[in-house]
Amino acid sequence: MEMIIRDNYLKRMIDAKDTEFIKVITGVRRSGKSTLLLMFKDYLLNNGVKKDNILHINFESAMYDDIKDYKDLYKYVKEKVKKDKVYLLLDEVQNVDAWEKAINSFKVDFNIDIYITGSNAYLLSSELSTLLSGRYIEIKMYPLSFKEYLTFNNYDFSNLDDKFNEYLKYGGLPAITLIKDNDELVLSYLNDIYNTIVKKDIVDRNNIKDIALLENIIKYLSNNIGSPISSNKISDYLNSNKVLEKSNHQTIDNYLNMLEKSFIIYKADRTDIKSKSLLKTLGKYYICDTGIRNIILGFRNIDEGHLLENIVYLELLRRGYRVNIGKSNDYEVDFIAENPNDIKYYQVTKSLSSEDVKNRELRSLESINDNYEKIILTMDKSINNDYNGIKVINIIDWLIKD
């Protein structure tokens, strides 16, 4: 099958090509990192780089089972390196013990441009950050945006409501677009990915013994997307409902950290907008993909309101924003989206048809005393698109904009 180019990510790799930085591509399993490396390899070949000057190693292939540690990796690469510049593409490099020592040596010993992928954030919390302090660029990869989902399915831009509901249900992992017409295959695929993330990236890597506690935390987070959460709240819920005999907030904090590092969840911290200070408690958690969330809780338990918030959060990350949730006086602001040049405030709600809901969402944004853009995203179609400078935009229209 012909690869569909994910221009946004490929452009970032091309822009960083031949710089001194190591390019580190991170993201949840099966979000498209391996395919991105292949796209970049094709780009190199099509732009005059000889095949012998590209060294591509996928550590999930049995072909490279003999490369166990950094010494094996260094030896293998050294034998392949030519006098001319070499482009080294290492896929799922965390499977190699102490791999970061080899990476550091490559930069010292060879004329080499390095690109690596990994399915957990331990990639960047390892010795790499110490050995290469300030000399790597992270390219964060996410499942397909809704606009990408339309492209991958060769959909036109008509009847978007039905296609968006499909996206809500199945999520944006690229392979879903090949099997979405077969519910049995979709369920099996999503279940396999979820189990692989839990087993390989969390349980095995951290030597977790209490798997039942871990799975109950994941279910709790999936069921409370967009709700303020603390480790104490999770612990109180699990203990009061006798889900487990006993759980404590320190253990839960540790498990939350592991879940974040596997990219199965993302945390949005809470910020006081007036003082611009980060608040230590009651952040919110979002799931990496709505299909993964639905496989955790069941496809009959689709809470569209919370899933909409999840989709907006991920889209803001894709667009390069740092995203926090906000407190403005006594009001809550769903998202503060910030980049070096701009700040935007967002409220997300399924509908503004209720006066109470409309007034609540407007009050939150009206309480912010600055001139940055303020936006309400909703599924409503026939809407007044401006309330005293606060824009109201249909979520689907917003998602398909460039």
pLDDT, tens digit, 9 for 90 and up, residues 119-147? 888 777 765 667 666 788 999 999 999 99
What percent of the chain shows pLDDT beyond 70? 95
All CATH 3.40.50.300 domain ranges in the chain, comma separated: 7-140
Per-residue pLDDT tens over the stretch 3-38? 788 999 999 999 999 999 999 999 999 999 999 999
Residue 118 has pLDDT above 70, yes or no: yes
| pLDDT of amino acid 196 | 95
Lateral strand order in the sheet of 112-118 = 54-58, 86-91, 112-118, 22-26, 136-140
What is the rounded CA–CA span in Å between residue 169 and residue 290?
7
Strand partners, 267: 285
Residue 130 in tokens: 């110490």
Q: Cα separation of 198 and 120, whole Å?
A: 11
Residue-wise DSSP of 4-68: PP-HHHHHHHHHHTTSSSEEEEE-STTSSHHHHHHHHHHHHHHTT--GGGEEEEETTSGGGTT--
The CATH superfamily assigned to 7-140 is: P-loop containing nucleotide triphosphate hydrolases (3.40.50.300)
Cα–Cα distance between 273 and 279 in angstroms, integer? Answer: 10
What local confidence, expressed as pLDDT, does residue 2 receive? 59
Q: What is the pLDDT of residue 128?
A: 62
pLDDT single digits (tens) 57-84: 999 999 999 999 999 999 999 999 988 9
Tokens at 15, concatenated: 């822009």
Which is nearest to 55 in space by CA: 75, 81, 32, 34?
A: 81
364-374 tens-digit pLDDT: 999 999 999 99
Mean pLDDT of 163-167: 95
Residue 113 predicted with pLDDT over 60? yes
Give DSSP secondary structure letters for 68-91.
Answer: -BHHHHHHHHHHH--SS-EEEEEE
> Between residues 143 and 302, which one has the greater pLDDT?
143
Q: Is 287 helix (H, G, I), strand (E, B) or coil?
A: strand
Q: What pLDDT does 246 receive?
A: 67
